[in-house]
Amino acid sequence: MEIEINTTSSEAVYAQIVRQIREAVQSGALKGGHSLPTVRQLAGDLMINPNTVAKAYKMLEADRLVRGAGRAGTFIEDNALMQLELSNNQDAKYELSAVLKSLQGKGLNKAQLQQLLLDEVERLSAEPDPDEDRQISFKGDGFTSRFPRFLKRT
């Protein structure tokens, strides 16, 4: 995994490191037990202050995504993906709660909030899944006649 820093970004450098490591755990590029570069090594590679890398690693450690092992280095926790999913769920609940409270403050009642939320979830679920390569329908000439042709296309 390669970490890249955008010096023109409004995102703090330590936050860029945290985000990129979180994304690598989420995508499976970093798995439990994987060793991260030492603070000095990463700071030297990125040409940044070691305290910046140390701050990023401390934040990841607080989120239970990495564990420091002293001179042995810093490692991705075995259950990092599960911790990340829990953290994402908690973040989502917090953000959703803040939005709902804000909308209540604008005079929307519970029924209106529920309808807005359901409509938005429905809209999102109706959008095509970008991770899905393609969808296939077996309507018309039947599953058994079209399935072999589908397999030949893959």
Cross-sheet strand order for the sheet of 66-68: 35-36, 74-76, 66-68
Between CA 21 and CA 60 the distance in angstroms is: 8
Question: Which residues, listed in sequence order, are joined to residue 67 by a DSSP beta bridge?
Answer: 75
| 44-89 confidence digits (pLDDT tens) | 999 999 999 999 999 999 999 999 888 888 999 999 999 999 988 9
DSSP helix/strand/coil, 129: coil
| 8 Å CB contact between 19 and 58 | no
The pTM assigned to this predicted structure is 0.65
How many helices, marked H, and strands, marked E, lie in the chain? 6, 3
DSSP helix/strand/coil, 11: coil
| 102-151 confidence digits (pLDDT tens) | 999 999 999 999 999 999 989 988 877 665 555 444 445 454 554 455 45
